[in-house]
Amino acid sequence: MNAIEVLKNRSETRLFKAVFPNTTNHYDTLFGGTALKLMDEASFICATRFSRKKVVTVSTDRIDFTKPIPQGTIIELVARVDKIGKTSCVVKVDVFMEDMYSYKREKVVTGYFTFVAIGDDKKTIPIIDNYS
């Protein structure tokens, strides 16, 4: 396993949340904006752990919501670096839904978030040192 793969594996980030009424819409399902906020947070942590530098979100790619996430479920967000460039990385985030009272679990959302590394002057810098 090369150094990049080690960094990718080490930076994988997992967050768990319970879907409570204050995070749902009028259909009693997780509000899409809340899901996006959580996905951006998980991907930011992952990109930061990967690079150990200041990073900012510059774009998101297609976000696919395949099923509604009802109130009273548990979600797990799994963020992993998918691609790297000279100054940027793309983090894939999968959201899994679990029933609180059974072992049923399924992937319900996938999205991609692009981050760039920035220096103190807010200009882009290499995402990892000695990038080739």
Domain of residue 109, CATH code: 3.10.129.10
pLDDT of residue 132: 47
Domain of residue 51: give its range.
Answer: 3-118
Query: Measured between alpha carbons, how far is residue 53 from residues 34, 63, 84, 124 in Å?
Result: 26, 26, 14, 11
Residue 124 lies in a domain: no
Residue 125 lies in a domain: no
Residue 130 lies in a domain: no
Residue 126 lies in a domain: no
β-partners of residue 99 are 73
pLDDT of residue 128: 93
**pLDDT one-digit tens code per residue, 80-126:** 999 999 999 999 999 999 999 999 999 999 999 999 999 999 999 99
- Residue 131: pLDDT band (50, 70, 90) is low
- Residue 129: pLDDT band (50, 70, 90) is confident
CA gap 33, 44 in Å, rounded: 16
β-partners of residue 118 are 54, 124
Domain count, the chain: 1
Residue 15 lies in a domain: yes
**pLDDT one-digit tens code per residue, 14-29:** 999 999 999 999 999 9
When pLDDT is averaged across residues 30-58 and rounded to a whole number, the result is 97
Q: What is the C-alpha radius of gyration for the chain, rounded to an integer number of angstroms? A: 16
pTM of the model: 0.93
Instruction: Confirm if 122 and 54 have CB atoms less than 8 A apart.
Output: no
